[in-house]
Amino acid sequence: MPIQTSAYAHVRLTVTDIERSRKFYDDVFGLPVAFEMPADADEETREQLSFLFGGVIYQLGDSLLGLRPVADDHFDEDKTGLDHVAFAVADQAAIEAAAATLDELGVAHEGVKDIGAGWILEFRDPDNIALEVFAPKA
C-alpha cells in the first residue's frame, strides 16, 4: 500500500554561503525563522539544534524551508536532484507584486509568464538555484 501523505513537511536547500543566502531569502520572501542556533547557545541547546548544521529553517505556511551551508559546487537543474522550487501566491496581482519586489531588490527574473493554468515568475538565488513563484488562475 502506498504511503498516504498530503503535503511536504519541509525542503532544505544546500548553499555555499549561508550569510549571503540568508540575506537573499530574508529580502525576497521575508519568512519568519522557525529554527536557528542562538549566538549564546549553551552546549545542550547546540546539541538539540545540531540538525541545523549551521543553517536556518524558515516557517513557510504549514511547511518549513531550510538552508544548509555545505555545498561547494554549483546548482544545475539538469543534474539528478532538484529542478526548481516553486512558491505559491494567491493571484495575478500577487505575482505582479512579486516581480516588482524582485525589481526593487535588483534580482534578475524572466518576467511574469502566462502558462495557461496560471502565471509563473522565474528567478535564481545566489547559488543559481532555480526558483519560481506560481499564481493559479481562478
Question: Last residue of some domain: 30, 56, 73?
Answer: 73
Same domain, 17 and 55: yes
Is 75's pLDDT higher than 90?
A: no
Is 76's pLDDT higher than 90?
A: no
What mean pLDDT is reported for the chain? 95
Confidence of residue 6 (pLDDT cuts 50, 70, 90): confident
pLDDT of residue 110: 95
Question: For residue range 77-92, what is the model confidence (pLDDT) as tens digits?
Answer: 888 889 999 999 999 9
SS3 letters across the chain: CCCCCCCCCEEEEEECCHHHHHHHHHHHHCCCEEEECCCCCCHHHHHHCHHHCCCEEEEECCEEEEEEECCCCCCCCCCCCCCCEEEECCCHHHHHHHHHHHHHHCCCEEEEEECCCEEEEEEECCCCCEEEEEEECC
Is 73's pLDDT higher than 90?
A: no
Question: For residue range 21-57, what is the model confidence (pLDDT) as tens digits?
Answer: 999 999 999 999 999 999 999 999 999 999 999 999 9
Same domain, 30 and 87: no
Same domain, 115 and 57: no
Q: What is the model's pTM?
A: 0.91
Same domain, 51 and 41: yes
